[in-house]
Amino acid sequence: MSKDLITLEHISKSYDGQMILDDLSLSIYENSFVTLLGPSGCGKTTTLRIIGGFEKPDQGRVIFDGKDITDLSPNKRQLNTVFQKYALFTHMTIADNIAFGLKIKNKSDSYIKDKIKYALKLVNLEGFENRMPESLSGGQQQRIAIARAIVNEPKVLLLDEPLGALDLKMRQDMQYELKRLKEELGITFIYVTHDQEEALTMSDHIVVMNQGYIQQEGSPEKIYNEPENAFVADFIGDSNIIRATMVRDELVDILGAKFACVDTGFGENKPVDVVIRPEDVELVSPEEGTISGVVTDLTFKGVHYEMDVQAGGYEWLVHSTKMSEVGKEVGIKVDPYNIQIMNVPASEDEEAISETI
C-alpha cells in the first residue's frame, strides 16, 4: 500500500484580509497523480505554491516524507515546479536550459551530458540539444520545461496549469505524454487545472476545490459517478440536478413520478437532491417511461446527440446515440444505479458552503 508522501495539516492562507485557504487538510500518496481541480480563485494554485515553498501558510504545517518542511525554501525541497509560462531562458540552448539546475549543484560535465540525453529521450525530443527555445512549438517548449525539472530527480513534480497555453489537439497529446512520463519516472505528480477533462483523463486522485475548501476527493470514477453535492456534480461534467423527495429506501419521487433507486438511509418523505448524468437518461416511448415529456431542442455533437426534454416542469439534458426529433413525445427511464441521491443542505450556511466550495 502506498504511503503518505505529503501531508497538509490545517492550512490557512489569506491575502489582504481575504481567506484563500480555510483550514485545509490533505494527504498525497507516494507515486500518485493527484489533480487539484476547481474554478478560478478556488485556492488550488495557492495550495501548490505552499507545497512548493513559494508561499508560507498563515497557519498549519506541510509534512514531506515525515518531516516538517513548512519553513524550508523551495530549493531545499525534493520537488520541482513546471509553470504555465514555461520560463525557459531564451538566450540559452535547450541543453543549457536543461542543465541549468545541475550546474548550480556543481554536477560533473559527463553527468550533465548523460542527464540531458536521458531527459530529451524521455520527452521525445532527442537531437534538440543545440536548438534555441524560440524555434520550438508551444508543446515542445513545455516538454523542455518538464525535462529541465526531471533531471533534478525530484520526488515530486508540481505542474501549475502547464497545458493552458496550448491548442486543443496539442493539449490532448500532452495529457497522454504526462501520463506516460508519470509511469516511466515513478514519481509523484501534483497537477493544477480548471479543466475537468484533463483531471478525469490523467489523474489517479482528484481533489475538487472552491473558495478555500476541499469539496470532495477520490478517484476520477468516484468523483464523476458519485458526486457528494450539487457543486461537484455540476462542475464535473454535465448533470441533471433536481430537487426531489425520498419516499423511502430505494424509492424517490422526482417531479411527481416514482423512480426506483439503490440509495438508502435518507429517511421517509425527506427532501433530497438527485443527480442524473445526461448519458444515463434513456428515451423510450411515452407509455414505457417513468415520466413523459417533449423534445424541445436537438444538437448533433459528433459522437452523440444532445437533446433537451421538457418533462415534469424540468428541462432534462439527454445525451444519446439515438436521435429524437424536436416536438416528439418521449418517455424517460433511468436505471436505479444511475440515480445519485444527495442530502439537501440543512441550513443557509451549509448551502452557501456546499455551493461555493
SS3 327: coil
Of 337, 332, 338, give the one whose Cα is nearest residue 284.
332
C-alpha cell at 219: 478517484
Number of Cα atoms under 13 Å in the Cβ half of residue 142:
22
Cα 229 from Cα 232, distance rounded (Å): 6
Confidence (pTM):
0.83
Per-residue confidence (pLDDT) for residue 82, from 0 to 100: 83
Cα 167 from Cα 180, distance rounded (Å): 20
Is residue 155 within 8 A of residue 67, CB to CB? The reply is no
Number of Cα atoms under 13 Å in the Cβ half of residue 235:
29
Of 26, 18, 16, 5, give the one whose Cα is nearest residue 213.
26
DSSP state of 193: E
Q: Which fold has domain 239-356?
A: OB fold (Dihydrolipoamide Acetyltransferase, E2P) (2.40.50)
Per-residue confidence (pLDDT) for residue 346, from 0 to 100: 61
Per-residue confidence (pLDDT) for residue 354, from 0 to 100: 46
Q: Which amino acid is at 17?
A: G
Cα 342 from Cα 317, distance rounded (Å): 19
Sign (positive or negative) of CA dihedral 123, 126, 131, 134: negative
Give backbone dihedrals phi and psi of 114, rounded to 5 degrees, phi first: -65, -40
Per-residue confidence (pLDDT) for residue 249, from 0 to 100: 97
C-alpha cell at 348: 443557509
Which sequence spans correspond to the domains of the chain?
A: 4-225, 239-356
Of 306, 305, 309, 272, give the one whose Cα is nearest residue 290.
309
3-state SS record for the chain: CCCEEEEEEEEEEEECCEEEEEEEEEEEECCCEEEEECCCCCCHHHHHHHHHCCCCCCEEEEEECCEECCCCCHHHCCEEEEECCCCCCCCCCHHHHHHHHHHHCCCCHHHHHHHHHHHHHHCCCCCCCCCCHHHCCHHHHHHHHHHHHHCCCCCEEEEECCCCCCCHHHHHHHHHHHHHHHHHHCCEEEEEECCHHHHHHHCCEEEEEECCEEEEEECHHHHHHCCCCHHHHHHCCCCEEEEEEEEECCEEEECCEEEECCCCCCCCCEEEEEEECHHHCEEECHHHCCEEEEEEEEEECCCCEEEEEEECCEEEEEEECCCCCCCCEEEEECCHHHCEEEECCCCHHHHHHHHHC
Distance from first CA to last CA of the chain, Å, rounded? 30
Q: Which residues of the chain have pLDDT under 70?
A: 1-2, 84, 86, 165, 345-357
C-alpha cell at 238: 454535465
**CATH H-level superfamily of 4-225:** P-loop containing nucleotide triphosphate hydrolases (3.40.50.300)
219 CB contacts (<8 Å, ≥6 apart)?
A: 204, 205, 206
